[in-house]
Structure 1
């Protein structure tokens, strides 16, 4: 089953020692509090360490840099969407036609992006090509590829999945600063064009 493949990409991380898990949770709670109060770009890793009452080295060893911290903070929020895709009710869940599920996913991810754009932006722009290396993008891309291949087996689903996800990048969202409704409707319109468009000239 294709959704089994998604389960492997979005697998739950291995268990940690109790003290390590407590430190991780303290750091994430401190980061979330500071990011919400001051904005992601105005908060340093040193400030997170002070707020969490842990050593600066602990923060850097656990998360590497602010992009790693952003990815970790996003993890729980992303898992809610992942679970809706894998086992939730239609239209996001498995019991809906592939084209309907694809449009529902684009709508859901557009809303997720709008709600978490600063964190996603940090995680996606830490280095050139960072967006395409993070596990969440790989999962979203594979999900779109699977649905598109089912709905339109005549298309290059792997390539066009990138095209569908392209307008849902945090960098573009912030640069264009469109109202959330316009960004979502545009992404859905593009997806519908891919689903219904011709594959050759007249």
Structure 2
């Protein structure tokens, strides 16, 4: 039997609610106990849903990990969209906000991203979020510096978020996120300055 026109099926709404409950429960457990203690059984108990519901939706722990990463990516993109709609910021300001937001996103999800990197070291470069980030950054770089190799520069900027490197900087080097953001600002300013220098030379 189909649902009446204009109404989503009850099962679909319940599934969406359960998915949110499971992801929020997983975040709470990660914050409290770290990834090593995360299990689908524990998440189901924390979320107040049946274990079968969690297994049917996510299949295994890696499936839950990637769902958390994708959900965090969605939140990041929504926040960036709101920023872009607020006062129509310049390409420089949008790129800066994007890269700063990425630094916070990676820092908040280091355990998850390190696990994903360990399971498929080169998988990051083929993932939908990486392709999306590359396209967005390349577009902003093109707007900021039309004469630059935007595709290469997007790759270069995204290297800053390689989970293993980012974690090394945070733990072994002891750098805080503001220091990483500051380094990214220098790169952004350098891209803009190089474009301006080229423009001056072309008009001499």
Could you tell me how far apart the structure 2 residues matched to 1:98 and 1:149 are?
9
Per-residue CA distance 1:38-66 (angstroms, 9 max, x = gap): 112332334324434422x5434422443
Cα RMSD for the two superposed structures: 3.0
Q: Is the 8 A contact 1:103 1:192 kept in 2?
A: no
Instruction: Compute the displacement of 1:117 (Å).
Output: 2.4
Paired residue total: 183
Could you tell me how far apart the structure 2 residues matched to 1:191 and 1:125 are?
30
Unaligned runs of 5+ in 1: 1-14
2:178 to 165, 178, 181: 181
Q: Taking CA–CA contacts closer than 8 Å with sequence separation of 6 or more, which of the two structures ends up with the larger relative contact order? A: 1
Per-residue CA distance 1:109-150 (angstroms, 9 max, x = gap): 212322332233334443122222333222222110100111
**Which residue does 1:23 correspond to in 2?**
18
Unaligned runs of 5+ in 2: 1-9, 199-204
Q: Larger Cα Rg: Structure 1 or Structure 2? A: 2
> Which runs of 4 or more aligned residues in structure 1 lie more than 6 Å from their structure 2 counterparts after TM superposition?
none
Q: Is the 8 A contact 1:28 1:73 kept in 2?
A: yes
Q: Which has the higher helix share?
A: 2
Q: Is the 8 A contact 1:102 1:148 kept in 2?
A: yes
TM-score, normalised with respect to structure 2: 0.73
Q: Is the 8 A contact 1:30 1:51 kept in 2?
A: yes
Instruction: Compute the displacement of 1:166 (Å).
Output: 0.8
**1:101–1:21 distance in 2 versus 1, CA, 3 Å:** closer
2:149 to 156, 159, 166: 156
* Greater alpha carbon shift after TM alignment, 113-122 vs 181-190: 113-122
**Which residue does 2:36 correspond to in 1?**
41
**1:165–1:51 distance in 2 versus 1, CA, 3 Å:** same
